[in-house]
């Protein structure tokens, strides 16, 4: 295991790259300051601050994008209590959860558990409950998340008035939908929406996915 001193590259951090992305984006965003857990989080990840992932983990508390629709995890903050180390404990084998959204979708870096493309980003989609490859790495994911492509990606998962509703959420909450979005009857426009804890959402989706893998086919 590398020491904290080996992981911190104060003269060659990726934080300036992240800040450049933020200066160039037209999307609403909030870069949160790091928490006192940042050294522990970076040590747990064993990546250096020369990487964008390491810089997010050590030098930020997280990043909120597009009125809080997308939450990119860092070392944790009062507005985003989950951090990259603790949030990942016992949740996904062979992957690292790094971001999530207001509709219960989760982004992860593949560590070998999601496919052969180790290091690539995947999205656990709430409307399919399938891990979908994004064919980009973490740095390109950040650039994509701050671009106009974010709205294109989510065009079928947003509804009239979504901004006001999302701004009423905390960054540790998301919406649950009933009927579920992956059913024939489910839709973001017509399903009942309720605010729930992100951890509860993840656990619910995991239980549902296990049930479906056990022989229950998805409607539609």
On the question of pLDDT at 219 being above 70, the answer is no
Structural element, H or E, at residue 86? none
Q: Confidence band (pLDDT; 50, 70, 90) for 10?
A: confident
Q: What is the pLDDT of residues 43-89, one digit of tens each?
A: 999 999 999 999 999 999 999 999 999 999 999 999 999 999 999 99
Q: What is the pLDDT of residues 170-191, one digit of tens each?
A: 999 999 999 999 999 999 999 9
Which domains does the chain carry? 4-213 (3.40.1580.10)
On the question of pLDDT at 216 being above 80, the answer is no
Give CA angle at 164 (195, 81), nearest 5°: 50
Q: Confidence band (pLDDT; 50, 70, 90) for 11?
A: confident
């Amino acid at each position: 295991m590398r020491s904290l001193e080996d992981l911190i590259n104060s003269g060659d951090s990726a934080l300036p790259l992240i800040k450049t992305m933020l200066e160039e984006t037209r999307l609403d965003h909030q870069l949160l300051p790091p928490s006192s857990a940042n050294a522990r989080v970076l040590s747990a990840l064993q990546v250096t601050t020369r990487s964008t992932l390491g810089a997010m983990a050590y030098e930020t508390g997280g990043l909120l994008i597009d009125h809080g629709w997308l939450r990119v995890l860092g070392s944790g903050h009062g507005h985003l209590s989950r951090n990259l180390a603790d949030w990942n404990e016992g949740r996904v084998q062979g992957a690292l959860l790094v971001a999530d959204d207001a509709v219960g979708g989760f982004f992860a870096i593949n560590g070998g558990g999601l496919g052969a493309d180790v290091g690539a980003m995947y999205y656990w989609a709430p409307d399919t409950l399938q891990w979908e490859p994004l064919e980009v790495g973490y740095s390109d994911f950040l650039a994509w998340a701050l671009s106009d492509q974010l709205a294109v990606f989510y065009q079928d998962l947003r509804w009239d008035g979504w901004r006001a509703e999302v701004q009423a959420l905390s960054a540790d909450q998301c919406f649950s939908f009933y009927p579920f979005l992956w059913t024939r009857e489910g839709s973001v426009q017509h399903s009942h929406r309720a605010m729930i804890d992100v951890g509860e959402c993840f656990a619910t989706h995991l239980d549902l996915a296990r049930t479906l893998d056990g022989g229950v086919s998805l409607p539609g």
